[in-house]
Amino acid sequence: MTVTAKRQGDAAELIAPAVRRLLGVELPIGLRAWDGSVAGPPDPPVTVVIHSPMALRRMLWAPGELGLARAHVAGEIDIEGDIFALLGIRDHLVAQGQSVDLNFGPAGVVALVRAAAQLGVLGPPPPAPDEEARARGRRHSRRRDAVVVSHHYDVGNEFYRLVLGLSWTYSCAYWASPDVTLEQAQEAKYELICRKLGLRPGMRLLDVGCGWGSMAIHAAREHGVQVVGVTLSREQQRMAMARVTEAGLDEQVEIRLQDYRNIHDGPFEAISSIGMFEHVGIEQMRVYLGHLHDLLVPGGRLLNHAISRPEPSSRAAVDPRSFIGRYVFPDSALIEVGTVISAMQDLGLEVRDVQSLREHYARTLRAWITNLEQGWEEAQHLAGPARARIWRLYMAGSAIGFEQNRTSIHQVLAVRTPSDGTSAMPATRASFEVDRALDSTVG
């Protein structure tokens, strides 16, 4: 679709009032429009480039985060410069008493309409980019869960390898020392979880949401356990099985394409759930935790490693009209950790240890962004320019969210305590400690 603006040479100045309404202050960033016009301060730390007047039409029909996201994904709006400088503006303005919610509001919409009319870009809503999730059916049904998981994870294993590095790990690392590599920090995370679970040779471990198999491989290789890993992503399963074979662990590790609700071959002495709980949804939280409880032997341990919100669980579900809800994690929920603990206790899972890794995840995300930006051309080739833009924006925004305590992450260790009350838990946390730097990496 081609749009020809009626006025040339001053588009940025016509759009600037709407952006001022959005932010509530004079422009702290640069603005450059498709006609070469600019607005904002001299030498800005970051410039928002509007490549096409179609971006205004998108924002008119969805005047908030979703419209901005669609324009960015479609390549009509781009970010030139430090993405963290752009995303950090929100917290800077909030600290000064400004209210910023990425919603233009009535006055902002009027300013958008005025600019669009002057530029000749009023018209029907453009179609949403192909990358936007279009899940159908009952929320958190088995079929719909498989579709939304595929939307996020089946975008190409080589793209994830570029972003995640050699650890093939898409969850928060554990930075036991500031001078370790990302791969060492990820191995330290797996070792921390294995020690919390008290893994010993011959035990049976269930890894729910096993990803590309890194936890399963580490637990089998370093602790001698038998592992069942399950995922809903076909591409993850394929790569995980290949990595298990390469590690010579076929006799110890099984990787299944399976919904957690279809696992009925317990019991297990230990269960790890790493970065999976966010996909469960608050409606299914008790079903999930109750099923894992039933799969454990008495005395067995569950480690739930999950992103959470500081707010109560009534706000757990990610807004389906947000950038994250449409392009990154459809149907996801970030459940406040106290709610999770209460549900565990109520279902017979005695919570024994809780650890926040909020700052660790911020550092992990910044490491992933470094990998993505260093391989930017290859990333666009592997997953497409739109997908690369989505991942860069969501990871940068998430890093700031963890740094500013808008988002958190906790490891919650629970035990299916036997009727006689013997949990077999160590008396102190000393056995959980991980060496400051590990020599090997997850291969």
pLDDT tens-digit readout, 383-429: 999 999 999 999 999 999 999 999 999 999 999 999 899 888 998 99
Return the bridge partners of 415, or none. 301, 350
**CA distances to 32, 242, 361, 404 from 401, in Å:** 27, 35, 10, 5
Taking the C-alpha atoms of residue 270 and residue 154, their distance in angstroms, rounded to an integer, is 28
* Tokens, residue 296: 């454990």
Confidence label for 377 from pLDDT (cuts 50, 70 and 90) = very high
- State the fold for domain 142-432: Rossmann fold (3.40.50)
Query: Is the previous residue joined to 178 through a cis bond, with omega within 30 degrees of 0?
Result: no
232 has pLDDT over 60:
yes
Q: Please report where in the chains the tokens 């969850």 appear, as a residue.
A: 171
CB–CB of 327/334 below 8 Å?
Answer: no
What is the side-by-side order of every strand in the sheet holding 253-257? Answer: 253-257, 226-231, 204-208, 268-274, 296-308, 408-415, 350-356
Tokens representing residue 236 in the block: 């993850």
Q: Which of 80-84, 92-96, 142-146, 195-199 has the highest mean pLDDT?
A: 195-199
Stated as kind and residue range, the H or E segment containing 378 is helix 376-383
Give yes or no for residue 351 having a pLDDT over 60: yes
Residue 141 is predicted with a pLDDT of 86
- The kind and range of the H/E element at 38 are strand 38-39
Average pLDDT over residues 258-264: 96
- Give the C-alpha separation, 237 to 190, whole Å: 19
Residue 437 has pLDDT above 50, yes or no: no
Average pLDDT on 300-321 reads: 86
Q: Where are the domains of the chain?
A: 11-119, 142-432
For the stretch 66-114, pLDDT in tens is 888 899 999 999 999 888 888 887 666 656 555 555 566 677 778 888 8
